[in-house]
Amino acid sequence: MTLPPTARRLAARRRIQAGLALCLGAAALAACAGSADPEEPAGGDGDEQTVTFRSWSPIEQTTRQMIDSFTEANPDVTIDATIFNYPEYVVDLQTRASSGTMPDIIGLQPGALTQQYREKLMPLEQCAADTWGDDWESRFHPVGLEQARMGNPDGDEHYYALPLLVQTVNLWANSELLDAAGIEPPATWDDLKAAVATLGDAGDAAPFLLPAKDAWLRNVVFLQIANNLEPGRVYQAENGEVPWTDPRIVEAFDYWSRLFTEGIAQDGALALDSYPNGVNQFEAGNAAMIPLGAWWIQQSDPSKTEIAPLSEGMSGYEPFLFPTLPGGAPESQLVGGIDVALGISADAADPDLACEVLTDWIAGDGGQVLINTFNDLPAVTGLNPEEFTSDKQEQIWNQLTQDWMPKVQWSRYFESPEIDTAVADALAGVAAGQLTPQQAAESVQAVQDQQG
């Protein structure tokens, strides 16, 4: 059948109008679907409860095991977790916080990150007391609790985050290379220089691999130097009690500089990142010493499918502290703190359930699963892996958790992100030869002055 032109136009227009109506209808339906309560389980089962979790740590595989542990005991609970790389995580968290879609439980670093979200987090003392009793604080390493409240306004004693994992920052030695060269991990600055000279002559491995591209690593090495030289002085500078140009702090910048000028660090240290390149080199046996932290024990996690020969039961490694410095503290100082803390959103759909999950992961069955992977050191005392794969692994674990962690006095973090960045920039400037130690200290002081 052939329609006249006007009728064809009318028919075409009707088809267009019908199409538009269909599109609008579909859009409306989609909008209705999209407006469903996100807390409502998709299956429509009213008994099922969902807790959302986002963080950069623990790693995804371990988080999955912790979730399985909790949901096996609580089958009506679903935990929706997403683990990001840290840079992506802070973007995601900031976007969610400003759009009112914060997850129930979030991973936090102490200080600036926790403080940024403080107003959107619920205080956790009641949750902790309900789970562990009124003396719950005694279960935690003191430095973890201290850092959990770092940066709180005066008079605010609340805990907006509780530590999940803690750590020391220290050096690791490849014990095979050191044994072959007939040397011990250096205890003093002179020992370090002698060890670097000996190891440099002994083979192609870097005596002291410094992945100084990472701002965080520059800062933790500097904090070890500064605290070994004058314990606590840098924190006094951050608090404005002494200037950053204090001679002892300038001297700490100078020791940092000497890592480069005296050939202790490898060539091109400022271009080497710790992950993945630095640790790959160390695990491959291409370096004798590297500054990292207690978390390096995770390389020997027995649940990993592939473990490098040096990492099998930690057979090839030995932890040691940054050497003492001439005229400094008689013993190496322990620097460390929180690896990752957990907080609960003030708008959590079910705060009690979120509290159950959080406390389970810190010190319950989920925590046990986490620690079994040697991910880092537990924030609570007395939680140990159920199985060790070697005596050496157990000995290192005990050294880290019993000998070192309880004695950690100095924080691996600065409170202010501006100072953190200023120190990292100053250290890069010194390492690159752009700044003298005095100029580096002055540049940090200038940032502090700007902050008022």
List Cα–Cα distances, 72 to 89, 284, 363, in angstroms. Answer: 28, 39, 17
For residues 193 and 259, give the distance between their C-alpha atoms in angstroms, rounded to a whole number: 9
Q: Which is nearer to other proteins, 12 or 42 (CB)?
A: 12
Residue 209 CA from chain centroid, whole number: 21
Number of Cβ within 10 Å of residue 403's Cβ equals 11
Q: Looking up tokens 């640790």, which residue turns up? A: 279
Report in angstroms how near the CB of residue 16 gets to other proteins at its nearest: 6
For residues 54 and 333, give the distance between their C-alpha atoms in angstroms, rounded to a whole number: 34
441 binds other proteins (CB under 8 A): no
119 binds other proteins (CB under 8 A): yes
125 binds other proteins (CB under 8 A): no
Q: Are 297 and 279 in contact (CB under 8 A)?
A: no
Site string for other proteins, 267-306 (x = CB under 8 A): xxxxxxx--xx---x----x--------------------
Coil/strand/helix, residue 165:
strand
Among 398, 434, 438, 451, binds other proteins (CB under 8 A): 434
90 binds other proteins (CB under 8 A): yes
Rg (CA), the chain: 27
Q: Are 381 and 141 in contact (CB under 8 A)?
A: yes
94 binds other proteins (CB under 8 A): yes
77 binds other proteins (CB under 8 A): no
For residues 46 and 38, give the distance between their C-alpha atoms in angstroms, rounded to a whole number: 13
For residues 2 and 5, give the distance between their C-alpha atoms in angstroms, rounded to a whole number: 9
Q: Which is nearer to other proteins, 75 or 85 (CB)?
A: 85
Among 206, 288, 379, 408, binds other proteins (CB under 8 A): 206
116 binds other proteins (CB under 8 A): yes
**The pair of three-digit structure tokens given for residue 118, joined into one six-digit string:** 């403080």
Q: Which is nearer to other proteins, 64 or 96 (CB)?
A: 96
215 binds other proteins (CB under 8 A): yes
Binding residues vs other proteins (CB under 8 A): 9, 12-13, 16-17, 20, 87, 90-91, 94, 97-98, 112, 116-117, 119-120, 206, 209, 212-215, 266-273, 276-277, 281, 286, 417-418, 421, 425, 428-429, 431-432, 434-435
